[in-house]
Structure formats: C-alpha cells, structure tokens
Structure 1
C-alpha cells in the first residue's frame, strides 16, 4: 500500500512542554484521516511538522515520498493547506482571490474559476471576500487550498464556528474532494464530523496518540452500554429497573432512560408491556470514546 504520509517517532518540545511526544502514524493514499484531541493536545504542532512549517526535534516524516523539512519546494505544488483562520487579500472578489492564489502555481484563470463551482460559490464569484458569510469564506479558503489540484490536503478545523446548515454543506464538499481521490488530513473538535467523514482517526492528548483506528471500531472497542429512552410515564422507573437486562434507570420527568448491555432483552420486555411509544435506542459514539480517553474536565 502506498503511504501518502509516514511519521515515525516525532517529538517537539517547548521548554518543559512536550507538544509532540513520540508520534508515529501512516496515512495511505486516498484516505480521509482525522486527528482529534482537546485544546493543547499537540494537533496543530503535529500538522505543522508534517506540512513542513516546523522542524521536529526528533523523528522522521515523509510526505508523498519526500522530506517536508527543510521547506521542500518540490512538495508545495502537491499539497494544499487550509488553516483554521484564513486571511484573504482585501478588496478582492471571490473570483479574483481564487485567481490570485492560482497564479502562484501557474493555474490558468479558467481552471481557477471552475473551482468556484466545486465549492458552490458560483453565485458569489463577484462578491468581495469581506462580504462573504462565515460558511462561504470557509468554502473559499478550501477552494484556495485546492486550486492547484494537490494530491494531499490538510484541513485545520474547517467547520469551526459554522452554523449546522453551513457545516453540512461543507461536509458535502469535503466528501466530493475525497471521492476524487485526494488524501485528506482533518483536525476537528466535532466528533460527529469525524465519525461521518473519516476513514480512520487518531485521538491525541498530551502530545501522544492514545488510540488510532476506524471510528466504528473504536466505538465497538469501548464496549459501552446502550441507552434506551421513552417518554416519562410510559413506564414507571421501578418497573423499568426490574426489567431483565436493565442496569441503570434515570427519569428526569421528561424522559426515562435505561442503560443496558442487553438491549434486545430490555426492548423485548418493554414490548411485552406495550411500553415502546417514542422509544429511542442510542449506542456509544466517538464522543464517548474521546471522553473516555481524554477525560471530561474542561480545558481552556
């Protein structure tokens, strides 16, 4: 299998802080790879090392078969980078902005204009960048990262601060980019986003990768109980607690929730009592895996 990225034993220190502490991973060609972690986990530093923006203290990394550091001009046309906070040239329209970025790589104006359609900004081509909405600006930022047709794309929290509609619209764009064969490396704080988009994710904390694998596999390995909920009053809490397979019961006056590792038994028992009106069954998610590995305390 061809690996687009291969990292081995990467370390980066700032004084006593180990921002990246012995990280190793590989990203195959065409994969949608996610890097997750709380604030200060080392995600951005790791990406900067892989992108060739920062030198590692120890370890080795290759990107598309090349060493990214010292800054490697052969890699620049082959990678695209969308930063968490993007700055555009002032007073330019979306079309002019994209053509300017494309000109840095010798991309013809017509090809640059075509990228507007790819990210759904055709109708905003003549709008100045400062007049774009947050979601539109993020899509333009991604278009700038893609305008030279890179093989590998780095996306640093591309949907941060977007409303739900804008996020889902951008997800469609990212799926289409990946379907075209590009390798994508994504950092995000949204677990549902990573679970939906990524083939594999690496969960980082304190500069280390704690777990790596397909989201569904990580969720299964957690072996967390299922949660079955119905409206309060459908079943008494005491009766729910006596059902075969029920482990814990909570009733907040709106919903009665049964935690269980034998959901089929509980549901069958509820069906026998005609207590399935409005039933919802929720298993573990990637967010549960994330919290189990990194803890639940708030980090600024």
Structure 2
C-alpha cells in the first residue's frame, strides 16, 4: 500500500510533544542516548492507550521531573531480558500513576512488542524527532513564518495586498524539512556493527536453540539474523549473535561497555558489543 506524502517537517510537527519530553529529560540531566530510548518506549506504550507522553509533557515540577528520569532509567533496566515478573507499581509509582491503563500488566505481558516497537521508532521517526539540528531548523522556520503572518495581519487593513505581501515575505521551507519522509526501514548496518559477542562457562554449555528462543522472546521472532557458536574442539564457549538492527543491542545493553550477564535456564551467559578484530600483517 502506498504511503501518503509526508515530509520530514510534517513528522517533526506531529511528534512535537514527544520531542518536548525528550528535551525535558535531557535538560534534567539524562544522557541524550538514554533519553531517546526512554521516550521511544513511552511512545510505544502509548500505542497500548497509556497516554504517557502527553501526561509527562505537562509536568513542570523539578522534583517530579527528577523522579521521572529515575523511573525511566528503571524501565530501561527492566525492559531487558529477565525470567521473572516485576511489580512496576512499586518501582515506578509516578509513571504508573500517570498511565491511563494498567501499565504493570502491559510491561509484563507485552515486553517483546514494546522492545520491537521502540526499535522501530528509533530506527524510523526517531532519526528526526531526536535530532537537535532538525528541530532547530523547524523552530527557526516556524518563528519566521509566524512573524510574517503577524506583519500581514497588521498591514492588510491599511495597505493593498500586493504591498502587504512585499512587507511580509514568507520564509522558504528548508530543504531538509521539505524532504519526503521515507517510511521504508533504514538500510541495515554492516554485520559487525549490529552484532554482540557471547561467552559461556565451559562447564555450563547452552544450546543454540535455547539462546535464540530466549532473545527472540525478548525482542520478537525477527529481531535476530543469525547466531554463530564456536570454541576449541567440540566446546561451544563463545558466539556471535547478529541482530536485524543495532538498536536492539542498544536496548539490550543499555549503554554498558562491560559484558552484561543473563541467565538462560539457570546457566550464565555474558553479552557485550561485538568489536571487529583488525588483523595486522
């Protein structure tokens, strides 16, 4: 089905409230990369009729904003894979109180859809919604347009329309804003850039099928391209897992530069960003 004609500027205007929440988090001290992920999750939760973004945007109390940021970090921590239900009413009381419907049930029951939805947002409209340069272009353009319209309102009753139009020159839409928005997914990055390195204990091997099931249950059936496991002899003590998008890795590791430990059927597995090995001759 053909998509409607939508420009990048249209996208920015449509998501102005989401952008305002992102700005609220960053101004409150949240690292921009973390803030992008948090807002993307709230945007996705709104697809479950939570109405969180609009409620958060209305909050101006600095103490509550600080609490929102702390609770958003908690959501990002627990949106990663785990094997147990979480009482979100206890650990994020302010955010759950803002939600239109039961957030606790939604987060516990729909984690795979939320992760997939957040990744889709970050790889799609998020490329522009969270881009400071694009929003500065929009702000400047909208300001100039408002000034031109104000001049017209003042001038039209006292001069001819032709003269009024000379006084009030409407700004030209910047090319970046006039560009048609491409609804198609981004071209995938090279494999290594969207891969993780996995390590296991030699005395606690984990079957390939169990690894794939665990992470697909977290991020959706189509979030992984492939898994390669290897090691000395017949031992499979490390592997490389290639995701469809590096955004899944960002959500999985949540900014950690160190290996993050998970447990699959009670057995530990360590996950970290894959680093391309450079061979020097």
| Structures share fold, TM-score greater than 0.5 | no
**TM-score (structure 1 length as normaliser):** 0.24
Task: Considering fraction of residues, name the structure with more strand.
Answer: 1
**TM-score (structure 2 length as normaliser):** 0.25
